[in-house]
Amino acid sequence: MWNWEQKDWPNFTYDQAALADLELEFIKIASECYGVFKHISDEDKEQIKIEIISEEALKTSEIEGEFLDRDSVQSSICKQFGLRTDQRRISAAEQGIAEMMVSVYKNFDNALDHETLFSWHRMLMKGRISIEDIGAYRTHDDPMRIVSGAIHDPKIHFQAPPSEQMPDEMDQFVLWFNQSAPDEKNTLPALTRAGIAHLYFESIHPFEDGNGRIGRAISEQALAQNLGHPSLIALAYTIERNKKAYYTALEENSKSNEITEWLVYFAGTILDAQINTQKRIEFILAKDKLFRRLQGQLNERQEKVLNRMFKEGTDGFKGGLSVANYITIARTSRPTATRDLRDLVKKQALFKTGQLKSTRYQLELISN
């Protein structure tokens, strides 16, 4: 029996004591992040906001196997915030995920309702012609299943409630979400609420497609409401790095309404996401500092390669930047690449590791 087929659905039970220290850690890290954020310039705040929301948009899509263009997503997000863009052509999918992520950010303190969920779904499904119910809960008669394996012998990882139950199930979910918000009668701590919200929503699986992305957005909204400001927590970024564990945890906790194991897993993921956000803020500030320090000292090739390296994020190029990478990115000769790289090391923009054919270059990020 799936969780929704059991008599206690959706009355989830869990060990509050198992989450107590995690809840305190969440508040502690959130306060540290907010303290850093308050003391940086408005220009840096804007850049950090755009960078993190863009990365989340890309990663929440990648979790579902959809790979979008980073520059197009970022351009669309800038447009949503009324910022200057490069006027590039943007696909419907990139525009849709950008619109949804910005909507979650701007309207985090609004109560959840069906129309908000329908609006997010319309955004996500832009340009899709294979979906029957867009901006509405599913109505098809076929079972909503998550499966893998061969068509003739599929493995069923989960089966959601039938479509005819969607109105009642979602009425109950929306009511629970709003009543568990801060200052409401059934208020829950941040990690507990975000974790229940995600598992609860994914168990209902109310839409024909897009449930994972909307479910993670709901968790982001829950965290932001409990913090009292947009969270900018790198949740999707963190999940995508180990999405096998994420899908395993969802599957293993879809057969019981005692969900302590799920909540501990999801709380740990959120704490990791907070730490990843801290690293990204430091990374973005270090990038800004590096380019300011070297303003007027870099040639066009060097600027292009450094920008490309920063696009790889905090993990950087896998194995580091090679001379061959530099030649490809800068479209230059080997002697020029070698000379440029030597100059970047001298200017403390890069540091070198390895020797001869194993020589690689990493960003030299000076935090202070």
Task: Profile the chain (368 residues) by mean pLDDT over runs of 10 residues.
Answer: 96 98 96 82 87 95 95 94 88 97 97 98 95 96 91 89 98 98 97 98 98 98 96 94 96 97 98 93 88 95 94 82 96 97 96 92 78
Contact 12, 261 (CB under 8 A): no
Helix (H, G, I), strand (E, B) or coil at 7: coil
Distance of alpha carbon 206 from alpha carbon 95, whole angstroms = 23
Question: Which DSSP state fits 112?
Answer: P
Contact 324, 336 (CB under 8 A): no
In terms of Cα–Cα distance, which of 324, 358, 12, 1 is closest to 192?
12
**pLDDT at position 366:** 66
- Do the domains at 3-283 and 298-363 have one common CATH topology? no
Question: Which DSSP state fits 321?
Answer: B
The correct answer on CATH 1.10.3720.10 for the domain covering 3-283 is no
Q: How far is CA 206 from CA 106, 139, 220, 298, 318, in A?
A: 24, 9, 18, 53, 39
**pLDDT at position 367:** 55
What residues form DSSP beta bridges with 323? none
What are all long-range contacts of 62-68, with beta carbons under 8 Å and residues at least 24 apart?
62/240, 63/212, 63/213, 63/216, 63/236, 63/239, 63/240, 63/243, 63/246, 64/212, 64/213, 66/93, 68/93, 68/94, 68/97
Question: Which DSSP state fits 155?
Answer: E
Domain ranges of the chain: 3-283, 298-363
CA end-to-end span of the chain: 56
Biggest distance spanned by C-alpha atoms of the chain: 73
Listed in order, strand segments (DSSP E) in the chain are: 145-148, 155-159, 350-353, 360-363
CA atoms within 13 A on the CB side of 179: 8
CATH topology of domain 298-363: Arc Repressor Mutant, subunit A (1.10.10)
